[in-house]
Amino acid sequence: MSFDSLGLDTKILQAIHEQNYTEPTPIQQQAIPVILSGKDLMASAQTGTGKTAGFGLPILQKLHEMQLKTAVKAEPRKGKRRLYALILAPTRELAAQIGENIRDYSRYLAIRSLVVFGGVSINPQMMKLRGGVDILIATPGRLLDLVHQNAVDLSSVKVLVLDEADRMLDMGFIHDIRRVIAKLPKKRQNLMFSATFSDEIKALAQTILKSPESVAVAKDNSASEQITQYVHRVDKRRKRELLSYLIGKNQWQQVLIFTRTKYGANHLAEQLTKDGIKASAIHGNKSQGARTKALADFKSGQIRALVATDIAARGLDIELLPHVVNYELPQVAEDYVHRIGRTGRAQNQGQAISLVCIDELSQLKSIEKLLKTSIPEIFTQGFEVDPRIKAEPVKKATKRAPAKRRGVDKASTSKKNQNSMKQSSHHTYSKTN
């Protein structure tokens, strides 16, 4: 199937061509005709499937057709431009990425789009809204702020998109979403995208969508087949050393690493930097400016390792990202699917490695149960797990610096640790059995 057969304007086809998209992805093949027909849509698709173009292209097509009909020319008079499509996304990063894509696809159209999210000053956003926009991409909280300040009028919206609806619910946006919807005209087209389909999502869909068409790509909760997954068993205290070793030995130039906590992300980024691997952390406590810079540096290759927490990385679109490392497994098995979905996007191959210590074996089990497969194990000589270490509940990160810790450990090599020392030249054990 080619893009030509989807009924898109040549100006849109030209822009797609320049993105080097040769054929529509499965979600695009299914969703574009439904959206063009004007029906509501419930789509099961993760980020990485090409879903943004799946809703973006038909929205642009419909808007373009409407502009031609109403003979609105390239630069309509100020204030005449009325909001046509509202796209809601859970995170600033996702909103920014959708905005970037929409701009790319609409470069030959007379369409104005704008991205608004919290964490940055509201005034410039209000200024930009003054001239009117056709497509607004927003996080729910900031959108409501703008509505309350009368900076945006939602009464003309023809198409509503809820992207990553599951994550919006997880992040507690349900009330904000309902408040936004109450301000929209009753007659409109609704498009909902979600990676997973809980009962809560289905209930939300029932209240928002009218006789929707359903489309789905890939099996529910399954990982993309273009991603090669591995588990590397390793003792917790040697994870950082192993990670630096793997990055160096395999010469990974761009690797996204997941940690469980914000503290863990910062700490690991610092340690990797000490190991000579340029790294930054990205998480909710960082300012928007710092997050944008870290992401830009990562995309441009100025930093090799980006360390992220689940929420911060949600929806990140990094073209050709080859490696994802789970430094710690997520507590919720579904998050594993989201994490590794950052690689192997569209037509590319990717590799996801999970560094799993003994305390995480039960999490690994739940992930494999969800995937309905076992993930193959790989090993690295010199990093074998110590069979004497027993599982214990996942502990809070220690605040001691590694260099200091080595010193402390050596100094405190007590009798009870001496046996362990004999058998391993790599490290000492403060954790006794």
User: In the complex, which residues of this chain contact ligand AMP (CB under 6 A)?
Assistant: 21, 24-25, 28, 47-53, 317, 319, 345-347
Q: How far is the CB of 304 from ligand AMP (least distance, A)?
A: 20
Q: How far is the CB of 347 from ligand AMP (least distance, A)?
A: 6
Q: How far is the CB of 199 from ligand AMP (least distance, A)?
A: 25
User: What's the number of CA atoms in the CB half-sphere (13 Å) around residue 76?
Assistant: 18
3-state secondary structure of 165: helix
CB of 54 or CB of 140, closer to ligand AMP: 54
Nearest to 352, CA basis, from 360, 361, 363, 341: 341
Q: How far is the CB of 336 from ligand AMP (least distance, A)?
A: 18
CB contact at 8 A, 48 and 140: no
CB contact at 8 A, 262 and 283: yes
- Which residues pair with residue 113 across a beta bridge? 135
Nearest to 431, CA basis, from 240, 238, 261: 238
* Residue 170 buriedness (CB in 10 A; 0-12 / 13-18 / 19+): buried
CB of 5 or CB of 149, closer to ligand AMP: 5
Nearest to 98, CA basis, from 316, 335, 343: 316
CB of 347 or CB of 349, closer to ligand AMP: 347
CB contact at 8 A, 379 and 351: no
Dihedral Cα 378, 380, 385, 386, nearest 10 deg: 150
Q: How far is the CB of 3 from ligand AMP (least distance, A)?
A: 8
CB of 214 or CB of 226, closer to ligand AMP: 226
CB of 104 or CB of 384, closer to ligand AMP: 104
CB of 165 or CB of 329, closer to ligand AMP: 165
CB of 53 or CB of 305, closer to ligand AMP: 53
Which residues fall within 8 angstroms of residue 12, CB to CB, at 6 or more apart? 57, 60, 61, 64, 105, 106, 108, 109
Phi, psi at 89, each rounded to 5°: -130, 150
